[in-house]
Amino acid sequence: MGGPAHEQAPVPTPPERLGEFPRLPPERLDELTELGERRRTTEGEVLYCEGEPSREFLAILTGTVEVVHDRGGPDELTLGVQGPGEFLGELGLLEGQAAFETAVVRRAGEIVAVPVERQRALVGRDSALGDLILRAYVARRYLLIGLGAGFRILGSCYSPDTLRLRAFAARNRLPHRWVDLEQDREAEALLRRFSIRPEETPVVVWKGERVLRNPSNAELARLIGLPANPPDAGQCDVLVVGAGPAGLAAAVYGASDGLTTVSADAEATGGQAATSSRIENYLGFPSGVSGGELVERAVLQARKFGARLLIPAQVNGLTPQDGAYDVAFADGSRIRAGAVVLASGVRYRRLDVPGIDRLEGTSVYYAATVHEASLCRAGPVAVVGGGNSAGQAALFLAGHASTVHLLVRSDDLGANMSRYLVDRVERHPRIETRLNAEVRGVSGEEAMESLTVEDTASGNRLELQAAALFVFIGARPRTEWLRGAVALDDKGFVLTGADAWASADTARWSPLGREPYLLETTLPGVFAAGDIRSGSVKRVASATGEGAMAISFLHEHREQNGHLVHSASAEGRPQAGDRPRPGTGPPPTDHAR
């Protein structure tokens, strides 16, 4: 098979778009050609279509391809024209989702098509190529989000179901646009076009033709191609509850050690970390990394080793059963797991201010991502909180808003915020920090207009103009479903190690002849990692470390207990009992980079 032809001049790419549309060097195209199939293209040919899953990675050898959103529809928009050396697709290609754009051949030529499974394997083993492709895919996903591409959510800003669908889409980083039934001019036209009665809203409109009336999160997930929970999920060696940094680390280490691993999350991959615009003190990323990119890398890594990720899949029951655990889901399905890692994290606390409930989702947010920033329309905004999350949000929003009012309850910005963030916040010309500040009231009917803020040191109050309020005032654990199953502390966090032993049922532990391991709960073989654990350090790095440690302790538990769940493994993958006993063989390879 000959090398690719390169006789055509590359299509110029604006400097600001190089991150989204990089070019592969000729030697990389040669490698891809060996893995795939060369094909001739014809002018006007559709290579893949919006709304349909794409199974191939496509690189352009000659000719040009136009990438279009809403082709043939009222919102048609050209996202880019790609030429020789460039590759098509975005994040959904790697994650099995439907395409959010259409690729049409503008000038006939030749492409190389690589099955997506081979591309995933290549990205996993070739770090340089993997970084190039993944960064471009993440950048394209956020480009689509910023442009309001993807499906439409049509519903009232006062509807809880509208807020639910918007939150689910934003947390899963799905390109979409909200059409407010109350004030968006497009809403009436869409209602007439699809014969939708106002009482039937919210609805999701996909590809300008498919309409889902008030869908559940799972129905929306199936529409897009997210891996939702099947009716009968079977059995596994380890079930990881939660897909934040701790849960994803546990999934990576569990699957890479040959355990059949399932990770389930009720909302989205990434947890609170995914809502961070920039993480600058995470080891190995000296220039910082967005929460979204870090999460997408971890998801790809977990899937590379064979972990199965289910979203949305809400766990609501955990019952010991014959040396294993019966895990129940809210949709009625169940999984039998040999061991469980609890890593469902925390949710941000809400601000207790009169009248704030009616503005949640329209002007009050608990995350600061591209989605929320796009709704601020460059007006002044306020951030409440004094920790790292609040500092990161203020810095990110300062790039979108005219002014950011950072409202801190204490009298010292450095009390709960890392020094590097304090320095950047204090130097930023668009951030105005107010210490000893408490929000006492909000004004605005359909959207926020201003805040009433009290200086608790002096008792003085003032009105601050703000189009949106971002709240980062601490968090509470997602452990309501665990009460009665494992021991919790007085704040609802899961007890582990020596703290768990003080509350454990000794009759359950006496046959094992040991106490709980450091991350083990009051149930043998059930571990807790990350923010959900009592006494944990609320940092991304410590969460990923605990996720990895939980798998190490899990192996020790299995080796000592002779505790196996015999489940089908992929051909060539080690079976659950094949791991060497401690001290009798080499340690597992450290794959988590």
Q: Please tell me the least confidently modeled range out of 2-11, 24-33, 115-124, 387-396.
A: 2-11
Each residue's pLDDT tens digit, 316-327: 999 999 889 999
- In-domain check, residue 583: no
Assigned domain for 157 exists: yes
Pairwise CA distance, residues 201 & 213, whole Å: 6
Write down the number of H helices and E strands in the chain: 15, 26
Give a yes or no: residue 566 inside a domain. no
Q: How far is CA 240 from CA 192, 243, 248, 334, in A?
A: 45, 8, 8, 14
Q: Is the dihedral of CA 103, 108, 114, 115 positive or negative?
A: positive
Among residues 147, 170, 192, the one where a domain terminates is 147
Q: Give 565's pLDDT tier (boundaries 50, 70, 90).
A: very low
- In tens, the pLDDT along 499-541 reads 999 999 999 999 999 999 999 999 999 999 999 999 998 889 9
Are 136 and 259 found together in one domain? no
454, 460 Cβ separation under 8 angstroms: yes
Greater pLDDT, 130 or 547: 547
Provide the pLDDT confidence category of residue 208 given band limits of 50, 70 and 90. confident
Average pLDDT score, the chain: 85
How many domains are there within the chain?
A: 4
Q: C-alpha angle 277/244/550, rounded to 5°?
A: 140
Per-residue pLDDT band at 232 (split at 50, 70, 90): low
Q: Is residue 194 part of a domain?
A: yes
Is pLDDT larger for residue 86 or for residue 188? 86
Instruction: Specify the DSSP element, H or E, that contains 92.
Output: helix 91-95
User: What whole-number distance in Å separates Cα of residue 52 and Cα of residue 203?
Assistant: 20
Q: What pLDDT is recorded for position 479?
A: 94
Same domain (yes/no): 375, 466: yes
The DSSP symbol for 14 reads -
Phi then psi dihedrals of residue 565, to 5 deg = -115, 115
Can you give the pLDDT at residue 589? 40
Domain CATH code at residue 239:
3.50.50.60
Reported pTM: 0.78
Q: Are residues 41 and 139 in the same domain?
A: yes
Of 195, 224, 253, the residue that ends a domain is 224
591, part of any domain = no
Task: Please tell me the predicted confidence (pLDDT) of residue 13.
Answer: 36
Q: Is residue 593 part of a domain?
A: no
Q: Is the pLDDT of residue 592 over 70?
A: no
Residue type, 517: Y
User: Last residue of some domain: 171, 205, 224?
Assistant: 224
3-class DSSP state for residue 409?
A: coil
Q: Which residues contact 217 (CB under 8 A, 6 or more apart)?
A: 164, 165, 168, 267, 312
Domain of residue 162, CATH code:
3.40.30.10
Does residue 428 sit within a domain? yes
Q: Clarify whether residues 319 and 405 are in a common domain.
A: no
DSSP assignment, residue 407?
A: E
Question: Looking at the domain assignment, is residue 229 inside a domain?
Answer: no
Q: Order across the sheet with 203-206: list the strands.
A: 176-180, 151-155, 203-206, 210-213
Within this chain, do residues 130 and 19 fall inside the same structural domain, yes or no?
A: yes
Q: Give per-residue pLDDT as tens, 38-73.
A: 999 999 999 999 988 888 999 999 999 999 988 888
DSSP output for 355-380: T-GGGBTTTEES--SHHHHHTSTT--
Structural domain including 171 reads: 151-224
449 has a pLDDT exceeding 60 = yes
Q: Do 282 and 398 belong together in one domain?
A: no
Degrees, nearest 5: CA angle 348-302-325 = 75
Mean pLDDT across 466-472: 92
pLDDT at 426: 95
pLDDT value for 574:
37
Specify the range with the lowest mean pLDDT, choosing from 143-152, 351-360, 576-585.
576-585
The answer to whether 68 and 149 are in contact (CB under 8 A) is no
CATH number, position 87:
2.60.120.10
Best CA proximity match to 60, nearest among 34, 93, 32: 32
- pLDDT of the residue at 207: 81
Is there a single domain that holds both residue 401 and residue 465? Answer: yes
Angle between helix 127-147 and helix 116-125 axes, rounded to 10 deg: 120
Residues 464 and 326 in one domain: no
Share of the chain above pLDDT 90, in %: 52
d(CA 544, CA 347): 18
The reported pLDDT for the residue numbered 130 is: 81
Same domain, 367 and 317: no
322-348 core/surface letters (b: 16 or more CB in 10 A; e: else): eebbebbbebebbbbbbbbbbbbbbeb
* Same domain, yes or no: 290 and 393: no
Decide the pairing of beta strands 475-477 and 346-348.
antiparallel
Question: 302 with 362, same domain?
Answer: no
Q: How far apart are CA 307 and CA 303, in angstroms?
A: 5
Same domain, 26 and 169: no
